[in-house]
Amino acid sequence: MDSKGNSEKKKDLTCVGKSVRRVDGWPKVLGKAKYTADHSFEGMLFAAVKRADFPHARIKSIDVEGAQLPGVEAIMLEEDIPGNPRFGALNPHQPVIISDIVRYLGDGIALVAAKSEKIAREAAKRIVVSYEELPGLFDPREARKSELSIHPEGNEIVHHVLRKGEVSEGFAAADVVLERDYQTQFQEHAYLEPEAAVAVPQPDGGITVYGSMQHPFSTRRVVARVLGLPLAKVRVIQGELGGGFGGKDESSSIVCARAALLALKTGKPVKLVNTREESFVESYKRHPYYLHYKVGAKKDGTLTAMEIEIVADGGAYASMSTFVTWRSVVQATGPYTVPNVKTDVYAYHTNNTYTGAFRGFGSPQIVYASESLMDELAAELKISPAEIRKKNFYQQGGETATGQTLKHVVSLEPALDAVLAELNKKPLEQNANPVFSRGRGFACSYRGVALGAEGVDATGAVVNLLEDGSAIVSTGVAENGQGLRTVFSQIVSEELGIPLEKIVFLDCDTSSIADGGPSVASRCTIMGGNAVRHACLQLKERLNLSEQPDLQKAIKATLNAGKSLYAFGWHNAPKVSWDEHTGQGDAYFTYVYACQGVEVEVNNQTGETKVLRAVAAHDVGMALNPQQVELQIYGGVTMGAGYGLTEEVILEKGVTKNPNFNGYHIPDSRMIGEIVPIIIENPDAAGPFGAKTIGEPTCELLAPAIANAILQATGARVRTIPATPARVLHAMQKEGAPA
């Protein structure tokens, strides 16, 4: 990346940095955007899945006799799978359907394709499976000790360590040592569109799959593996995506692979759409964490040591647990300089729903714990929550827990000051009604951008400039609803000087662009944006725009010279490093910083908590589209409020007790009174036009801010989220707070 390119001043830009409207909004408001379940093909069949009846059991027999209803065209078991029935990014042990041992209630046992969805579902219901029930494990702390092993390879999925300095010395030097336990819940992504796939067999023996997925390339890998086809014969096209938030990776690959299996078997197009209940039971969740923190500090607040042990519930399959918990081990101390750190993060299998990627990816849990802890420590030391943080914040040129020197602008203090200034514009006014108590709280975080040392981080983009000055753009990362098409179009418009109306953005199609890695880790803008920019810069060079600034003339001259105006840009992330034995290294190539604050009102009689106002300050490097950045903040803050207050998948012995929105409460439009977004810009050399990241940091801060505010309002500390009315009331009774 040329470093010159990053020093543009915003005012010189024509399109980047402006709040242009979404380029893909038109079909959405018309109801014409085509989501996967909206696809329909001649002669299409409908699929249904027979799932496990026990969370842990050995299958003795599967009787499909009763399912052979009129209209049923295929019933498939594991033995009918032509390729490898198991998949998984790190540990390929997850079944598409299974015939020996079921490990959670979402496991599929048989697939049915029929002329109608009704017949398919009825047939699936009539498949009779007999089992030998096995004892289950439903708590990762039990799984840690248990003799019982859910997988042959054992219950431990991963154990990450981080060792810096010597904690015993740090605690010896401390004036105060505090130990606290915190606990977090299963959270469901609750994308409004349940998983769906439509698979269409092709004349060459290959298959085309339309799917509701975030990562078409991961899906292609799974489908090809399961069907036993070369990758080139599997074409995966992303349908318009009705939300993902990290949740449409394995969950979607499974649905696509199942539809593809049935399509190949019947030779007909097959549609498979999960109901909301199936989505809840089958799809992976955010990991529940059990966190133990021990912190030492001097009287003045200077941190001397932190010892952290975290146990995560990985559920039935490994999925992304290793990566999710890796982000936790890197960031577990919070954005504070601690000379001595010892962190252990474990993930174990249980017979609960498996857990995986979810917006935040291992950060919301540790931010909740560490930011609650900072307030608890401040109270112990009788200094203010702001003071203790400022005393210990990472600084530019300083060193993180992993030993990385931060070379870029570290904006923790400006973010905190901005939030406090906004929050405290008016003094805290109590409700005249004594039933209600109000309080304020805040939380701060730092976050590694993109994949970091998880793995190879690179992506590509094609810009196809046409003779009339219009352009077709496609990228290896996918639109997930976040606005990627809009922002990338802005970059093309900026670089080539063509209006947005002349840019057409193609749906992500695995057969037309190089595998650009997953659309995760808030990496799309920074990685994909750079790739788009590389493609544009190649075109600019070919067009020789510096000598011939008239684009139309330049296009003509270039084409006449026999040169192509089709450019492929590829971007590799800057180098990172990691030593897995010590947990030391340059974990991510850059970081973002943020602070969110909140004012809450707690009902002393019932424990109900309302968010009156939330303020969120985020350093995004540079806002390529400020309006879209604000939207990410609104959405993330709201999701964070759900995480902190209402959202919890209740699993009892592996059974999901609240598998729809009547029992699982995502925030509604009344949940938060007001959200004030504050954008902080410190352009980063690693990003396109200095841009970094916004998607994920927005949802990792509100839960601890709320917990800290509840404490201020009631004197009670909630150490388990969500802070439901019952938990808040219980905490108040325990603390002997005014009731």
Partner 1 sequence: MEATRQAIEFFLNGKPRQMEVSPHSTVLELLRGPLALPGTKEGCAEGDCGACTVVIGEKKKKNESENIFSYRAVTSCLMLAPQLDGKHLLTIEGLAEGEHLHPIQQAILDDHATQCGFCTPGVVMSLLALFLDNPQPSQEDLLAALEGNLCRCTGYVAIKSAGEHLRTDWLLEKIKAKDLRPAYLEEVEKILGAEKEKKVLSIREGEKSFHAPRTAAQLRHLLSISDSKLLNGGTDITVAIKKHGAPIRNLIDLTSIEGMSEVRIGCEEVVIGGAATLRKVAREVEGVLPVLSEAIGKMASHQVRTLGTLAGNLANASPISDTAPLLLALGAVLHLEGPDGSRKVPLSEFYRGYKQIDLGKEEWISEIRLPLSGEKFHHFEKVSKRRALDIATVNGAISLTLDDRRILAAKVAFGGVAAVPFLAEKTSASLLGREWNLETVEFASTVALEEMRPIGDVRGSSTYRKDLIEGILIKHFLACVEEKGWEQ
Q: Hey, which residues between 170 and 209 contact partner 1 (CB under 8 A)?
A: 189-194
Which range in 290-298, 413-421, 431-439, 581-589 contacts partner 1 by CB under 8 A? 431-439
Amino acid at the residue 580: E
- Residue 139's CB is within 10 A of a number of other CB atoms, namely 15
Residue 83, interface with partner 1 (CB under 8 A)? no
Contact 685, 6 (CB under 8 A): yes
Which region, judged by CB under 8 A, interacts with partner 1, from 15-23, 175-183, 301-309, 589-597? 15-23
With beta carbons less than 8 A apart as the criterion, state whether 616 and 639 touch: no
Q: CB nearer to partner 1: give 374 or 611.
A: 611
Taking the C-alpha atoms of residue 243 and residue 359, their distance in angstroms, rounded to an integer, is 11
**How many residues of this chain interact with partner 1, rule: CB under 8 A?**
79
DSSP state letters, 686-698: TSGGG----TTGG
Assigned token pair, 355: 């857990």
Shorter beta-carbon distance to partner 1: residue 564 or 660? 660
Query: Which tokens is 8 given?
Result: 């543009």
Report 592-621 residues binding partner 1 (CB under 8 A).
Answer: 603, 605-606, 608
Please identify, among the stretches 54-62, 175-183, 234-242, 251-259, the one whose residues bind partner 1 according to the rule CB under 8 A: 234-242
Q: How far apart are CA 443 and CA 420, in angstroms?
A: 11
| Number of other residues whose CB lies within 10 A of the CB of residue 608 | 16
The length of the chain in residues reads 739
User: Residue 463 or residue 645: which is nearer to partner 1 going by CB?
Assistant: 645
Q: How far is the CB of 623 from partner 1 (least distance, A)?
A: 14
Binding residues for partner 1 restricted to 621-640, rule: CB under 8 A: 627-628, 630-631, 633-639
Map the footprint of partner 1 across residues 270-299, applying CB under 8 A. 275-277
Is 243 a residue that touches partner 1 (CB under 8 A)?
yes
Q: Which of residues 336-375 bind partner 1 (CB under 8 A)?
A: none
Backbone dihedral angles phi then psi of residue 611, each to the nearest 5 degrees: -95, 110
Among 7, 14, 21, 181, binds partner 1 (CB under 8 A): 21
Rounded Cα distance between 343 and 291, Å, is: 11
The contacts of residue 450 (CB under 8 Å, 6+ apart) are 457, 521, 522, 523, 526, 527, 573, 588, 589, 693
Tell which one of 480, 519, 530, 558 touches partner 1 (CB under 8 A): 480
Report the C-alpha gap between 30 and 33 in whole angstroms.
8
Residue 366, CB-side half-sphere exposure with 13 Å CA sphere: 28
| Least gap, CB of 126 to partner 1 (angstroms) | 13
Q: Is the dihedral of CA 631, 636, 637, 638 positive or negative?
A: positive
Pick the piece of the chain touching partner 1 (CB under 8 A) from 14-22, 75-83, 86-94, 345-353.
Answer: 14-22
Give the count of beta carbons closer than 10 Å to the beta carbon of residue 179: 10
Looking at the Cβ atoms of 55 and 635, the one nearer to partner 1 is 635
Provide, rounded to whole angstroms, the least separation between the CB of residue 647 and partner 1. 9
CA distances from 521 to 71, 245, 455 (A): 44, 10, 12
Q: State which of positions 22-51 bind partner 1 (CB under 8 A).
A: 22, 24-35, 37-38, 40
Considering beta carbons, is residue 189 or 327 the nearer one to partner 1?
Answer: 189
Residue number, 30 or 456, with CB nearest to partner 1: 30
Question: Which residue, 35 or 568, is less far from partner 1 as judged by CB?
Answer: 35
According to CB under 8 A, which residues from 709 to 738 bind partner 1?
724-726, 729-730, 733
Task: Specify whether the CB–CB gap between 310 and 291 falls below 8 A.
Answer: yes
Residues 643-682: x where in contact with partner 1 by CB under 8 A, - otherwise, as a string: --xx---x------xx-xxxx-xxxxxxxx--x-------
Query: Which is nearer to partner 1, 45 or 543 (by Cβ)?
Result: 45
Quick one: which of 171, 210, 245, 317 contacts partner 1 (CB under 8 A)? Answer: 245
